[in-house]
Amino acid sequence: MNMKLFTNDTRMIEKTVRRMSSFHFSIGILLCVTAAISLFGPLSPKAHGKGKATDLCKIIPGGEIAKAIGGKIMETKSLDGRCVYIVGFGQTDPPSRAFVIYRHEAGDYDALKDAMEGKIKTVKGIGDEAVGSFDSQSNRYWLLVVKRGQVTYQVSGDNEDLVRKVAVAALRNLIDAP
């Protein structure tokens, strides 16, 4: 009788192991698909959903951004059609700052301008037209620039003067970019 129980237990264990293996395989496939969607789905090369499919970090090198604002490039990150620049300033407070550049379709300027929030002011001397605003929730300045028929882009950062300098440096590279 003990042998019969042992045989039945062994069969049940084998069935359970087979079912668990199938279950683990299914879970593994599900996790792989979920990871692929998470990793590669949001990495659309379009800035805010409508930009050109390009890598802004290659078009606008970090060294040029750092030079324009008197810092040293620490890191660049290409994310979702935008480029994030981390620039170091040595012993200053803060010792580093982050700037983000978003590229849009050339014709998107007016719609983006209409969607801006807060007090919007005209900024002279950049592109054909530029407007800026301050987002008090994120404590960031936003500058929207257009070179009509060529490019519309935004720059954000925590210092209004530095954001303007980054925008000027970016425009030189974006005018002839693909």
Residues 9-40: pLDDT tens digits? 444 445 544 544 443 333 333 333 223 223 33
Same domain, 31 and 55: no
What pLDDT does 72 receive? 94
Q: Given this model, what pLDDT does residue 142 score?
A: 96
Reading phi first (left if > 0) and then psi (alpha if -120 to 50, else beta), residue 71 is in: beta
Decide: residue 152, CB within 10 A, 0-12 exposed, 13-18 middle, 19+ buried. Answer: buried
- What pLDDT shows up at residue 141? 96
Partnered with residue 43 across adjacent β-strands are none
Average pLDDT, the chain: 77
Residue 80's region, left for phi above 0, alpha for psi from -120 to 50, else beta, is: left
List the domain range (segments joined by +) for residue 20: 1-41
The structural domain count of the chain equals 2
Identify whether residues 37 and 53 lie together within a single domain.
no
Whether the pLDDT of residue 53 is over 90: the answer is: no
Question: Would residue 63 be called left, alpha or beta, if left means φ above 0 and alpha means ψ between -120 and 50 degrees?
Answer: alpha
> Do 52 and 93 lie in a common domain?
yes
68 and 114 both lie in a single domain? yes
